[in-house]
């Protein structure tokens, strides 16, 4: 099963990029033992539309275009569920067991995502009610994917 992180915006070189890459590599390495393929990052350019609504629609269309057929879709959304790490691991395991070819984690921009894209999501998750910078959200997501793979592999990284 492929894991795809599709995000609006690019990470510039710096500590966030280095940390993101570290967690991506760790998750991919452990994930191979679990039947998970490499974690792919797709960065989508931010819309340049002047109107926030139009930006949201253009970016949502771009995100929707990277979702493979029959993929599980996870939207990072401030109104989403606060999942425990074990719950995320359980979801990944269930999707893998059900033959889903991919899981796509979508990270929208500050304008959010269009309602029709939110409706396509199998799961909407939140990292709490605080507002987080886009760069940190990506780091936190990749760390949670690493943590989920260690939980599934029985690795001692996750101690709860």
Per-residue pLDDT tens listing for the chain (160 residues): 999 999 999 988 899 999 999 999 999 999 999 999 889 999 999 999 999 999 999 999 999 999 999 999 999 998 899 999 999 999 999 999 999 999 999 999 888 899 999 999 999 999 998 888 888 999 999 999 999 999 999 988 877 6
The candidate with the shortest Cα–Cα distance to 33, out of 96, 91, 90, is 96
Q: 122 — alpha (psi -120 to 50), left (phi > 0) or beta? A: alpha
SS3 assignment, position 52: helix
CATH number listed for the domain at residues 2-153: 3.40.1280.10
Domain boundaries, the chain: 2-153
Block residue for tokens 């606060």: 82
| Edge-to-edge strands, sheet with 39-44 | 39-44, 2-8, 102-107, 72-81, 123-125
């Amino acid at each position: 099963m492929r894991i795809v992180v599709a995000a609006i915006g690019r990470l510039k070189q710096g500590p966030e990029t280095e940390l993101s890459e570290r967690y991506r590599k760790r998750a991919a390495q452990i994930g191979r033992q679990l039947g998970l393929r490499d974690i792919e990052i797709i960065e989508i350019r931010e819309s340049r539309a002047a109107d926030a609504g139009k930006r949201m629609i253009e970016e949502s269309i771009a995100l929707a275009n990277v979702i493979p057929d029959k993929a599980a879709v996870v939207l990072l959304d401030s109104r989403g569920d606060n999942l425990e790490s074990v719950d995320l691991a359980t979801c990944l395991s269930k999707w893998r067991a059900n033959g889903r070819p991919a899981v796509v984690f979508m990270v929208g921009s500050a304008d959010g995502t269009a309602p029709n894209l939110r409706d396509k999501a199998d799961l909407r998750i939140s990292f709490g009610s605080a507002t987080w910078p886009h760069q940190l959200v990506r780091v936190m997501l990749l760390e949670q994917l690493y943590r989920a793979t260690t939980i599934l592999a029985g690795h001692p990284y996750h101690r709860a």
